[in-house]
Amino acid sequence: GARISTNETKALVYCYDAKKTTKGQVSTPEWYTAVKGENKQTGYGLVVDGNGVVYVATDKYITAISSTGSVLWATEVAGTAYGVPAIDNEGYIYYNDAEKGSLVKLEPATGKAIASLQLGTELKSSPTISAANAWSQMGGNPGKSGYMY
């Protein structure tokens, strides 16, 4: 498992081996990595893909971290990232830009933004991507749903 810290000055991602944890004891992480941006508020998070790559959202960055803790890329967002990133069945990463009110699609190898869909004026939620790559937006715009190309 992995987790993002709630430290108010910077964001750290910790990776733990669930098989090595013992109830009631403090576990030692397998690795930890500092990422760009801050994690001062709720609403940020991480997701892990099938290859163990961790995608982390902080206020101003989406970062990809390898299964061994190396930063693969860090993409600065146009406004403010909010929520936990989502991954579709082709490996593309999605995040909500709360400030711009848009759902943004990133290329998995580089983190380059390849699509953006304006959904409203403010989004304070996480995107949800189904196995068929249909998306659903809840929170800031609960009535929006459709298909992301």
Span 8-51, pLDDT tens digits: 457 788 888 888 888 888 888 899 888 888 776 555 778 999 99
pLDDT surpassing 50 at residue 140: no
Instruction: Grade residue 131 by pLDDT with cuts at 50, 70 and 90.
Output: low
Nearest to 64 by CA among 29, 114, 109, 15: 109
Summarize the confidence of residues 95-119 as an average pLDDT.
92
- E strands, the chain, where? 2-4, 11-15, 31-35, 46-48, 54-57, 61-65, 71-76, 81-87, 93-97, 102-106, 113-118, 128-129, 134-136, 145-147
Question: What is the per-residue pLDDT for 135?
Answer: 55
Average predicted confidence (pLDDT) for the chain: 80
pLDDT surpassing 60 at residue 96: yes
Stated pTM of the model: 0.79
